[in-house]
Amino acid sequence: DTGVSQDPRHKITKRGQNVTFRCDPISEHNRLYWYRQTLGQGPEFLTYFQNEAQLEKSRLLSDRFSAERPKGSFSTLEIQRTEQGDSAMYLCASSLGFANTGELFFGEGSRLTVL
Amino acid sequence: TQLLEQSPQFLSIQEGENLTVYCNSSSVFSSLQWYRQEPGEGPVLLVTVVTGGEVKKLKRLTFQFGDARKDSSLHITAAQPGDTGLYLCAGATGANNLFFGTGTRLTVIP
């Protein structure tokens, strides 16, 4: 399968714990996006990478959220000291090119439940 | 904060009926995309519109980008149960951001 893959698909954690999600984009794609989606709502933009550079991170929800893409390939999204309000689906998407009119290819998401 | 408001939020119709979904904003977008999302999956691109006033057709789906590039509509003719899903518009601003709308959940009843 050469699509976008995310791991884990499901994560249940206790409040206060740290969680990390991994995204492997389509191999030749240089752009990588992270979104958060709550039930029945549209995805909410979190951050964006072009190759290894994080070009937009002002939309990260708080300083507990951080993302990396160290070698311009896979990316990780970490949430520290999780809160119940962090429960959501975290979607990763990748695209090819240098404009934001290209098609975004999404992974199946990582669903987080904070107890 | 959602820049794009979609209406209606929910829509339940009988097979064979026509419907229109609206995507509105006070912001101007350089381009606008429509995606469809099914449960447990990520959104899948349906179309990209770039020029104000542009109309694109994809089988029974017709997409229009407003003249001022602030709004868009999706019209489905003779809806089928396979059209059921969450329809999302997404607007591009600047060079880096793609913001999604609030979504319209469509159910087509056989």
- B58-91 pLDDT per residue, tens: 999 999 999 999 999 999 999 999 999 999 999 9
Distance from CA of A24 to the nearest CA of B (A): 14
Phi, psi torsion values for B58, nearest 5 degrees: -135, 95
* Geometric angle at alpha carbon A83, from A115 and A72, rounded to 5°: 110
Residues of B in contact with A106 (CB under 8 A): 41-44
Query: What pLDDT digit, counting tens, does each position of A36-86 carry?
Result: 999 888 999 899 898 988 887 777 778 999 999 988 899 999 999 999 999
Cα(B69)–Cα(B53) distance, rounded to whole angstroms?
8
**Does residue B68 contact residue B44 with C-beta atoms inside 8 Å?**
no
The reported pLDDT for the residue numbered A1 is: 56
Those residues whose C-beta lies under 8 Å from the C-beta of residue B79, and which sit 6 or more positions away, are: B13, B15, B16, B17, B18, B19, B60, B106, B108
Per the CB < 8 Å rule, is B42 touching A56?
Answer: no
Distance from CA of B28 to the nearest CA of A (A): 14
The reported pLDDT for the residue numbered B9 is: 95
Which residue did the predictor score with more confidence, A76 or A96?
A76
Per the CB < 8 Å rule, is A42 touching B31?
Answer: no
Residues of A in contact with B35 (CB under 8 A): 104
pLDDT range class, residue B39, cuts 50, 70, 90 = confident
Region B9-36: mean pLDDT is 95
